[in-house]
Amino acid sequence: MAVYQATASAPVNIACIKYWGKRDTKLILPTNSSLSVTLDQDHLRSTTTSRADASFEKDRLWLNGTEEEIKEGGRMATCIAELKTLRKEVEAKDAHAPKLSTFHVHISSFNNFPTAAGLASSASGFAALVASLAQLYALPVTPSALSRIARQGSGSACRSLFGGFVAWEMGVKADGSDSFAVEVAPQSHWPEMHALICVVSDDKKGTSSTAGMQRTVQTSELLQHRIKHVVPARMDAIKKAITAKDFDTFATITMQDSNQFHAVALDTDPPIFYMNDVSRSIIALIVELNRASVAAGKGIKAAYTYDAGPNAVIYALQHNLREIVNLTMTYFPQSQAFNDPFSLYAKGQGVPGELPLPEGFNPAVAKKFEQGAVKNLIHTRVGDGPRALDAEESLLGSDGFPK
């Protein structure tokens, strides 16, 4: 008996120009375009195996080993249905193609980072789901076409169908056919772009992006200003900065846009706060780092950005990471040693958190926090798009259930 199965992995992406607001909540059509950097799957990824079999009684999904309901008419069901429709087209054109569109699927997905870390897993998760089904169904479609489907799972997921620097063009059509992701530049264009994720402790249950952004759409006047008068120019400017590898401009726009996203959250009724004292202290450190660097004629060294939670993502060029990790660990002592995938602190480079602060840096801009305020630091970089994996990497056993 033939086994019809495929495994794919997909990356996390972190936006520089934030998506916040929908004009159509069912199709997930945004109120503004957005732009992100895809992070390296060697460090953060979702892996998904999909299998179609005539014996399966219904579509089923397991997330990190636990079965999740596929709600009728829900986001997951929509993505699966869209991909089955494309498979039908393949079967209509090729009489020899097995009728996989008529079989149910079993899908098993795994994130290599804890969901509790508060890192958006829906983007990589839906991108891996769509990539694995597209592979299973041998769909002759572009990543942009797949991004249109992933978008209906979670808006930000559409940007995880590409590596490098990715724009989600909002489109204008009511049916969403022109709302999809495109590559602005591949990973290879600017591989020196690195990212440091500061996982910030958070006990409270925050407002979900889905609920929060619609409250902003309904109540914030500032959002209307943002989508009409701010984002279009920023999209143009940041694309140019990426093309020119102009870090100063890239960083300036990234920080401005994070600030404005959190401003429209605050302008929502009732107001939404995603950042906490630790988040704000990290901003103070990066602002001071950049001030001292610009004063010394060296330009901007780092850009912070925050999504719908307190975690910071710091974008910086590789050669500045040693200084940034040291700075962060000086103010936020860690319980474990720094996990150093790029060997910043190879022999002779000292211990992070114990090295001198940068020349001219005013140490009084933030207080030193207790151990644990920043739980973990993850050093990664710009990465590639979804990967097709070998059969050995399958998450489903020969019985078609999670291993």
**Which residues contribute to the site for ligand DP6 (CB under 6 A)?**
15, 18-20, 28, 34, 120, 122, 154-156, 209-210, 307-308
> Least distance in Å: CB of 383 to ligand DP6?
16
Kindly tell me which of 102 and 224 has the beta carbon lying closer to ligand DP6.
224
DSSP letter at 358 equals P
Nearer to ligand DP6, 6 or 119 (CB): 119
User: Which C-beta is closer to ligand DP6: that of 40 or that of 307?
Assistant: 307
CB of residue 290 to ligand DP6, shortest distance in Å: 23
Taking the complex as a whole, the smallest distance from the CB of residue 189 to ligand DP6 amounts, in Å, to 21
| Amino acid at position 202, single letter | D
In the bound state with ligand DP6, the residue whose beta carbon lies nearer, of 6 and 12, is: 12
Q: Which of 180, 83, 71 is nearest to 128 (CA)?
A: 83
Classify strands 387-389 and 4-11 as parallel, antiparallel or unpaired: antiparallel
CA distance 44 to 123: 12
Taking residue 257's Cβ as centre, other Cβ atoms within 10 Å add up to 25
Shortest distance (Å) from residue 30 CB to ligand DP6: 8
Length of the chain in residues, anyone?
403
CB 238, min distance to ligand DP6, A: 13
Distance CA 294, CA 314 (A): 18
Say which residue the tokens 């100063």 belong to.
248
Using DSSP bridges, classify how beta strands 193-200 and 312-317 pair: parallel, antiparallel or unpaired. Answer: antiparallel
Cβ distance to ligand DP6 smaller for residue 34 or 254? 34
Give the dihedral of Cα atoms 322, 325, 327, 329; nearest 10 deg: -140
Minimum distance, C-beta of residue 210 to ligand DP6, in the bound complex (Å)? 3
Q: Name which of 223 and 308 has its Cβ closer to ligand DP6.
A: 308
Tokens found for residue 346:
């190879």
402 prior amide bond cis, ω within 30: no
Q: Output DSSP code: residue 67.
A: E
* Nearest distance from C-beta of residue 317 to ligand DP6, angstroms: 22
> In the bound complex, which residue of the shown chain has the CB atom lying closest to ligand DP6?
155
Task: Select 15 or 44, whichever has its Cβ closest to ligand DP6.
Answer: 15
